[in-house]
A and B are shown apart, each in its own frame.
Chain A
Amino acid sequence: MKAELWREMWRIFEEALEIPATDREAFLKATCGENSELRRTVEELLAVDGEGSMLDQPVVSPPGPEDRLQPGPRPVVPSGEPSSIGPYRLLRRLGQGGMGVVHLAVRDDDTFKRRVVIKLVRPELGRDDLPRRLRAERQILAGLDHPGIARLYDGGSTLEGLPYFVMEHVEGMPIDTYCDHNRLDIPARLHLFRRVCDAVEYAHRNLVIHRDLKPSNIFVTAEGEPKLLDFGIAKLLNPELAAPELEPTATWQRPLTPSYASPEQVRGGPVTTASDVYSLGVLLYKLLTGRLPHRFPRRTPQDIERILIQEEPPRPSAVVTASGAPPQDSDAGAPATDELKPEIIASARRTTPAELARRLKGDLDAIVLKALRPAPRERYGSVERFAEDLVRALEGQPVMARRGTRRYRASRFLRRHRTAVGALTALILSLLVFAAVMARQSTRLARQRDQVLAERDAKENVTRLLLDIFQVADPFSGDGAGEALTVREALERSGPLLEQRLRRQPAQRAEILHATGLIYRNLGLLDRAQDRLEAAVDLRRALGRDALPELTESLTVLADILLNQGREARAQEVAEEALTLARGLDTGTPEQSTSPLIQPLSGLVGVLCSLKEYDRAEPLALEALALTERLPEDDPRRPTALLHQAAIQNGRQRYSEAVDLYRQALALERAILGDEHPSLAVILNNLGIALRRLDRLEEAAAVMGEVLELQRKTLGEEHPEVTRTLNNLGGIAEARGDSSTALRYFQQASELLRQTGGPDHPRIFFLQIRIYASRLRMGEARTAEQGLRRALAQWRDRLGEGHRFVHMAVELLAETLVAQGRLQEAEGLQLDLLERTETPQRPDLLQRISKLYRHRGYPEEAARFEGLPEPSSDR
């Protein structure tokens, strides 16, 4: 604008102010003449003149309503819909989603006239928290770049202040409609579904959970490309990017589609990637069978939750031949009942109901149901795993991902339950014996078992077999998956047969159930194990007094399984019952009084320890300890009892007691396992940490040194566990004031991690920080400073400004500056850091800043930074 025009404009403005508002229009018309632009500008200036403004209040103001540009309450949004938004002209309304109206639009000034979709908040929800959530959506989506995810182009606010997004316009139809419309067969459906998985997996890798996967959010284009839409309620996993205003809303307010929501979402529990796995499971169910896994006669949250958790969905292969009531799928609209006829469903898949059922039976049934497990951790560990298993099913290979999971569980379980291996031996024996028992029509199984137990040959054979299967000799490595599967398959086939034959012999049937349950437990198949044990418990309960010892035994095992499933409350109930029964059985005679009580005691102690009920656990643990002392030295139950007691003492922060117990357990374990077993390193490590807590640093260093040696021998020089130990050793050395030794350990650890974890492992950065902390303490402040600056340059962008390690490095950098007397620079860094730390408050950092100010002669500032809750005195 030219200078004279500028002056002219203000002259008119000032004159207009003198005139009553009603006469202004005429005045402006007369004054501005032909210059309509000038007139409009002055009109606008006059219009805003009376409005409230952010300028009316000085700069610092307390937190208040977000939109300070709007005076007073947010203006009422006009009910009519706009014809354009920003540079976009709205063409037609496409639909209305949970939080917004969706329009098809075109950018007028765009040479390509690209068509886009504009999503706009529903006016009646305009004052809700929805704008915020939409804002979040915009940020999240912008970070995602994948051909299977609809792009976000732009975003802004309408004149009325309502946020909108401009997104890629996906022409196509919802995935379920697309599949039926094109009569895709099962392999084609699976193929398409896998590509959806790819996109979801991509989002997960970028720490985004979709949270609302359903057909209407998954479009397929005419070219057959699936596109995910609407990350409307996705939330970043990365807490640093999850802006604080994204406070969790009550789940039920979320525009979730219950049919596809996971139990934890309905319950309002934590939502993880496993929730998306669940929703994908529902989707796959729908694509395969044309139905939803669950039916909800009533749609209250309580009913839905109950159904989702308690009712196992029917196997896909079972529903495709049955004609039933239509599922309640509000999402796709109620389909005509006709479409749910098995013939029609099958025909949309180019097959017949019977053929479809055959196709789904087995692998696909298992895969879908695994994705639909109520407990998140029992589903696939990732979408990738899920997809991989589908590929295997398509290629007719055995489902490897499930086997992998099982093997992992089995090995992990065995690591925790080395004592169970003895029991397992007995159990396999009992199965072997059982064959003999069957042959000889014997009825007293237990006695026979005792006899055979004495036969060393058999025992050794079975032990070797077990070692082969589970690789117990080296629990940290090895490959025993094949055999594990064989055992399981054998069980699956023979179990029902045996059970059927023994229908009239409940005692033996219970024995078989108990035995197979134990095997399942040791294979990590906890649901099946629980099933068998529950059945065994029921049978044995019905058998009355005679079966009480066996009932106790089954209850004890069941409690352990429940504990491993994370169902601690039930585990406690069962374990308490087992112990009560065991006490009733205990006759107190020297020969008998040991064994029957130990396992139930130990079981209950385990449960109480995980509930952190140390007060209740302790007397029981002591009782078990006293009982095990009568056992032979090499009985694995003895170290177990000691370790339980040690865990209790550790939990109550009585570290010196814990130290004694760890040492005793260690001595026994050494006798049982030999000197070179990786399990010893675990105990030694705990011992070392307890010693460090006691400030017995010399001993801690010695013990940790042992851990290192042991790990190097049993796991190899380059095992990731070794890094951890080196880091612990460095920490102990630092605590002893021996910074140069600490430095060496940290350097070794960092070198090792570089080799084993690759150069991008974030813990390398952590170790670098520790290295420079040691250097600082060695008086090499300048070196430390330069090193830290280099490290920060390398890691800052990779980890992001808010990463804990970045904060640590900056703090340390400030300390190196303080040590060099460069106080103003240090101040700058610390203040920056403080600005970045939102919540929780950082008492240590505040204290350091306050100290710095006091040091420099700024008592008021020092006080300002102190005027916060007293930090704990550990610094």
Chain B
Amino acid sequence: MPPQEPEDITGLLIAWRKGDQEALALLMPAVYRRLKRMAIGYLRYERSNHTLEPTDLVHEAYLRLIQLKRVSFKDRAHFFAMSSTLMRRVLVEHARHHDSVKRGKGVLKVPLEALGDIQIAPAADLLALDEALRDLADRDTEMARIVEMRYFGGLNRDEIAEVVGISSASVTRTWRKARAWLQRHLAAEHRQEPGNES
């Protein structure tokens, strides 16, 4: 058996926080693989049972990814923040995949919201949100990052504050703005009108 498996994610995390940049290089793909595998396992499970709580995936994923007792609050927050990016990638890939499977190849491009739901969050919504988040990041990186951490990473206000280095109150305010902007953006796309923010 290859000795590097299962990856010692906690160990890598601690090494990274101590300044070992190589550890980060190993950490990211390792977390990504495990997240992906867990996400798919969950989806199978969910389809046969329908008993899964919405937040289970995120929480259990984290619990199993690192040994929380071994890491500090600080480390944990940074780890979650990093994982939220990966979680977003896993889920968006998954959604895109379903999307293309459902539509078949070379078929007319249709607006996203009309594609129908998949089992997890509606694929179309996830993809639209992903798109909108990228737009937002072009204008305001911090706003986009906060949404990512909260929505895809399940981080709470204090954790986000720790990672971004702002007050918890600022996190709440920024979240509210980002949420409004995304909401409006998605609704605009929904109407199929070109955005007017030029």
Contacts and interface: CB of A to CB of B under 8 A. Distances in A.
A48 B187 contact: yes
B75 interface: no
B183 A48 contact: yes
Interface stretch (B10-18, B31-39, B159-167): B31-39
A135 interface: yes
A51 interface: yes
A846 to B, nearest CB: 7
Given A62-B54, A861-B41, A55 B121 contact: no
B158 interface: no
Contacts of B97: 832, 835-836
B107 A143 contact: yes
Contact of A864 (B41, B101, B140, B197): B41
Contacts, number: 200
B56 A55 contact: no
Contacts of B191: 86, 159
Nearest to B176: A49
A801 B64 CA distance: 33
A867 to B, nearest CB: 6
A14 B177 contact: yes
Interface string A377-412: 000000000000000000000000000000000000
A86 B192 contact: yes
Nearest to B194: A87
Interface residues of B, number: 77
B169 to A, nearest CB: 12
Interface residues of A, number: 77
Residue among A10, A13, A135, A855 having the largest count of chain B Cβ atoms under 10 Å: A10
B196 to A, nearest CB: 7
B57 A60 contact: yes
Given A1-B139, A45-B180, A68-B125, A138 B44 contact: no
Interface in B35-69: 36-46, 48, 50, 52, 54-58, 64
A546 interface: no
A156 B114 contact: yes
A37 B196 contact: yes
A855 B6 CA distance: 11
Given A6-B139, A159-B191, A58 B44 contact: no
B50 A60 contact: no
Contact of B154 (A58, A87, A241, A861): A58
A45 B117 CA distance: 27
A87 B192 CA distance: 8
Interface string A1-44: 10000100010011001000000000000000000010001001
A438 interface: no
A157 B186 CA distance: 13
A59 B152 contact: yes
B180 A61 contact: no
Interface in B81-120: 87-88, 91, 94, 97-98, 101-105, 107-108, 110-111, 113-117, 119-120
Contacts of A159: 190-191
Contacts of A868: 44-45, 48
Nearest to A853: B37
Contact of B114 (A37, A135, A867): A135
A682 interface: no
Contacts of B37: 827, 831, 853, 858, 861
Nearest to B56: A60
Given A57-B54, A152-B108, A857-B6, A66 B122 contact: yes
Given A6-B139, A14-B177, A836 B101 contact: yes
Nearest to B152: A59
A865 interface: yes
A139 B183 contact: no
A138 B186 CA distance: 22
Interface string A189-221: 000000000000000000000000000000000
Contact of A66 (B36, B64, B116): B116
A63 B41 contact: no
B74 interface: no
A155 B113 CA distance: 11
Given A66-B117, A68-B122, A867-B45, A139 B181 contact: no
B50 A63 contact: yes
A69 B180 contact: no
B180 A48 contact: yes
B72 interface: no
Interface in A561-614: none
Given A61-B54, A856-B5, A864 B186 contact: no
Interface in A463-511: none
Interface string B117-139: 10111100110010000000001
Contacts of A801: 101, 105
A245 interface: yes
Contact of A62 (B1, B50, B91, B102): B50
Contacts of A155: 108, 110-111, 114
Contacts of A869: 48
B70 interface: no
A46 B107 CA distance: 38
B94 A861 contact: no
A300 interface: no
Contacts of A835: 40, 43, 94, 97-98
Contacts of A143: 104, 107-108
Nearest to B100: A801
Contacts of B122: 66-68
A139 B107 contact: yes
A60 B6 contact: no
A827 B6 CA distance: 14
A155 B176 CA distance: 33
B44 A856 contact: no
A45 B64 CA distance: 39
A69 B125 contact: yes
A59 B108 contact: no
A244 B1 CA distance: 41
Contacts of B5: 856-858
Interface string A837-875: 000010000100000010111101100110111000000
Contacts of A69: 113, 125, 186-187, 190
Contacts of B91: 59-60
A37 B195 CA distance: 12
Contacts of A46: 180
A245 B64 CA distance: 34
Contacts of A366: none
Contact of B120 (A60, A240, A797): A60
Contacts of B19: none
6 contacts: A45-B184, A49-B176, A156-B114, A240-B104, A827-B33, A864-B44
Given A6-B140, A832-B97, 5 more contacts: A48-B184, A58-B154, A60-B54, A138-B108, A868-B48
Q: 5 closest Cβ contacts across the A-B interface?
A: A142-B108, A864-B41, A48-B183, A60-B57, A61-B54
Interface of A: 1, 6, 10, 13-14, 17, 37, 41, 44-49, 51, 53-55, 57-64, 66-69, 86-87, 131-132, 135, 138-139, 142-143, 152, 155-157, 159, 161, 163, 240-241, 243, 245, 797, 800-802, 821, 823-824, 827, 831-832, 834-836, 841, 846, 853, 855-858, 860-861, 864-865, 867-869
Interface of B: 1-2, 5-6, 33, 36-46, 48, 50, 52, 54-58, 64, 87-88, 91, 94, 97-98, 101-105, 107-108, 110-111, 113-117, 119-122, 125-126, 129, 139-140, 147, 150-152, 154, 173, 176-177, 179-184, 186-187, 190-193, 196-198
